[in-house]
Structures are given as structure tokens and as C-alpha cells.
Structure 1
Amino acid sequence: MHTVAVAVTDGMPVFEIAPPCAVFGIDRPDLVDPWYELRVCASPRAQVGGWLRADTPFELDALVTADTVIVPACHDSACPPGELVEAVRAAYDAGARVASICTGSFVLAEAGLLDGRRATTHWMHAQRMARDYPAVTVDPDVLYVDEGRVLSSAGKAAGIDLCIHMVRTDHGSAVANALARRLVVAPHRAGGQAQFIDAPVPEGPREDLGELLSWALANLDRPISVTDLARHSNISDRHLSRRFLAATGTTPLRWLLAQRVQRAQELLEHTDVPIERIAEQTGMGTAATLRRQFQRVVGTPPATYRRTFRGGQNPGRTP
């Protein structure tokens, strides 16, 4: 069983501890059996949000035995607790996957785990992180960053996206999508999506994009352009792009690519359909295009991805 440990120190916000507990702490044998084993590892007398006591048999030194360690935002990100920094570094050295939520990335940076890596944090603290840790490539505009065994996410809600992303990495898109439906959250918000849209929402009623997105998903096997989407909605290309960015935080073509790759993941996980046929069914056109785009988005070739999930392998703790 894959063990997920949530590191808790005094004063941590309740909201940022809740996502990993909701995702990893509830047994879901109908999705994956066994699911994850969740452990809350806390410093002595730690209180979450300043009022809820973390009553747990695991202290921070127990992080070293976990397969995945999640570090929520600290009460004071400018001065991360030394015991937490040491425990996170020891867990990583022992082979754990380490992820941060919001300003928990400062703990990872203080532990030296982000040196030479790309990372993110809440946009309000990104400039300070870049100043204090010049060896880290800070990207303030994305929801989360996956650097293999080291992951980081932006504030609060992005922590949910990161946790579902880790489930998708471990068990595939079908399981992650089923989990997202139960949590009533978006099944997949790509890490590269913007943290926020720095533009005013147009006044007056806006047409819902739901019907357009449903139409696009039903026609993923076709080449779809921005003009096709705009024509289907009876609006101009420019108007569509503005509406799409305001509603989804990304461009129409980037959204389409994400959906095509996700459909390819599902087919690779659950069917023996050849790569060439998957390229056709997802609108990629050719196997070469599918391989190139899949590698860029997922980080692994389609054939390797299929072997991992069809073969029952589960990326877990590094030996």
C-alpha cells in the first residue's frame, strides 16, 4: 500500500491540509484496492488553524517512512520550522515523492529540493521566493509543477488539482476522473493553466461554454480549429478566445490538446488499440504527432505509458 504522509506544524491553514486528506485518506476499494494509507505527521502540540489540535501517533520524523510526503503552507513561510525542513529532506533522501501546497514550497526550497528545478507557489509570494532562493526557477503563473519526485502547487484550490494529478500519475486518468466526479471538482486542470485571470469579467450575461465543450469532446476525432469552435457558437474567433480564456484560464487550442491527450491516456490504459488508430480517434492525425504531443504533455512516450498501466505497475517509492 502506497503511504501518503501529510506534514503538519503549528498554525497551518485548515483548507490546505484538507485536500490531501480528502483525496488520499478515504478508502476507495471500488476504484483501486488497496487505495492509499494516509498518515498525518505532526509536531508535538501542533494546532491546525490555531484551534484544531492534530491528535496523531505520528511525529514529523515518521515522514521518512512514507512513499509520498505532502507539505501544506506553513504559518510563517519566511522561516520554515527547522525540524520540518530536516524531516522533508530525510524523506526525499530515503526515496519519497515530495509535494508542496501553496507556500509549503518554501520548505522544499529551504531543504534544497528545488535547487536547479522549476517550481511554483502562490502568486503573491512568488517574487519573494525567487529572491530568497535564486537557484530555483519560480513560475508564478501555473497551477502546479511536476518535476518527477518533487512537485509544487499554487494556493489552496490548486492543491486539489495537484493531488488528483498524483492519483492520475499513480493509477491512470480513468481512476482520477472517477475520483474527481466524487469530489465534484474538475477532472483535469492542467498544471500549466493560469493561477488567476488578471482581467475584468465582462459585464452582462455570458453564454455558457458547456454546450460548445460537449460538442468539441464528441468530435475529438476531427481536426477542430478555433474558427470551427467560433462558428459553432456563432461568434467571432477573437470573441471566442476571450470567452474561453475567461472561463477556462487557457486558450481553445491548448484546451483541445489537453482533451486529446487525456482521451489517448484512457485508450492506452484500457484498450489494445494500436497507436496509429489512437492517433486517428483523438484527432492527432498521425502516430508521430501523437507521440510528440503525448511526450510533451505527459512526459513519457505512449508505449511506455501503456506498459506501465496495462502491466499493473504503479509508480511508487523509489528504492
Structure 2
Amino acid sequence: MARLKGKNKIRDLLSGYSFMAPTIIILGCFLLLPIGYAIYLSFHKVNLLGTVSYKFTGTANFERMVDDPRLWIALRNTAKYALIVVPAQTILSLVLASILNMKLRYRNFFRVAFYLPTVTSSAVLVLIFMWIYNSNGLLNYLLDLVGLPTYNWLGDPSVALLGIMIMNIWSTAPLFMVIYLAALQDIPENLYEAADIDGANGWQKFWRITVPQLKPVTFYVVVMGIIGTFQLFDQSYIFSAGSGGPNNATLTMVLLIYQYAFKSMDMGYASALAFLLAVVIMLITLIQRLIFKEERLN
């Protein structure tokens, strides 16, 4: 009997893994192997020109980070970008979702209209905003129209990154708005009815009922926002033509990795930087989990 149970258990395991095999193979080939190969490259000096060679250098690529000034500039720019964009897009998306959750006239039209920036290509959005920020663009035209001085929005290092921030807040908030909107519709209506009986006003209901009920969703939105901001690449690349300028003002971690990997052909150091970025994102996510201790719904 025990032998028969053992055979049935093995047969069930084999059946389960046979169904999972396509997914395991795909994830292994396109996710696990690249990660392992990137970690392997981070400990080597790689030559891809002519005869491909790998020279083991130990932790030299990681030690090199300490004396790399552009790395610290990229980390500072990325952290500044995340600290401003993530809270702004989270608050904006929650406010928009709360408004569109009300019984407004034409609210379905506004839901579609607000969501349109999300489905627009990121490259197209960057080109549109570059035209707006251009010296002869829409923003300076409007400023000149009302008698205000114009400005070199793309060429000033102090405001170049801010221009990318505004564009990303405008384009990513609608995506999280939809997530918040779905969560708002799942909040039991009897909670608000009980609050009405107790004499709570609109702000008290929002702060004491809506926000706590949305805590798991807020955890997801903030984590996804941080991951997205730390992976900023295409907007910064197009804005600066791949240089991270002006004066490294729009240089981000992923753009720096790209420059070392495909311009300097320093794959080993670029892989080490990618490994560092992954560690930073994981640490921030763990901190988020400690802050949002009750992110699971009861």
C-alpha cells in the first residue's frame, strides 16, 4: 500500500511538472539564465570586439563604483526623481480616482480621456513635451503671450530633470488611477452609511475609511512606482540624445548602464551596475513592506 501511494505521488509530481515545463523552460531561458549571466559578467572584464574573451577580475568592478563620480550623479538624479514622482503620481491618481468614482455626469468620458496618456507611446510623449519645452515651443509661446519672460527649459541643468518629472507624472498617474478606481468600487458602501449616521463629513470619511481600505493598493502603487522610476531610461535618453545632459542633469542609473555597456563596451562594469540597481530596488521594496505592515486584506 505504501509503495502504491509513493508511485501515485511520483506520478502526480511528474504530471504537475510536465504541465509546468513550458513555463519553466521559458522563464529559465529568458529570465533566470540572463540574470545568472549578468552576475557572471559582473566579475569579469569582457572584450566583445574581435575575439570574445572573459578575464576574471573578482570584485574589481564593484570596487570601481566607489571612485566613479558619474555613478553617484546618476544615483542622486534617480533618487531625486523617485522622491518627487512617486508621491506626486500616487496622490494625483488617488485624487482622480476619487473624483471619477463619484456620480458625475459624463464620468465615463472623463475616465477614457484621463486614461489616454497611458496608452500613448513613451517616445511620442517625449517628443511632444520636447516641442512644448523648446525655446520656440508652446510653453514659451504662452509665457510670451501673457508678457512673461521665456526660458531655456531643455538647456538649463536645474530644470531639465523637472521637465521629465512633469511628463512622467502626467503620463503614469492615469494607470494607477484605474487601479485605485477598481479598489474604490470594492469598498463596502455600508461603511460610508455608518459614517453618515455618526455625522462624519466628506474629509473624515475619506481619511478614516477610504485611505485605510486602500492601503494594500497603495502599497502596490508605490512599489510599482519606485521600480518604474528607478528604471527610467527612454525619456532621459531621448531628452538628452543619449548623453544624460545638460551637464549630467538627466543622467539616470539605467542610462548610465546603457552608456557603459553599448558606448564604452564595458559589459563587466555595466553588469555590476545593473546588479547594484537590482539590490537597491529590492532593499527599497523590503523597506516598503516594513512600512506597509498591513498591506494584506483581511
**Could you state the TM-score of these two structures normalised by the residue count of structure 1?**
0.20
| Structure with larger Rg | 2
From the two aligned structures, give the one with the greater helix fraction: 2
| Structure showing greater relative contact order (alpha-carbon pairs closer than 8 Å, 6 or more residues apart) | 2
**Could you state the TM-score of these two structures normalised by the residue count of structure 2?**
0.21
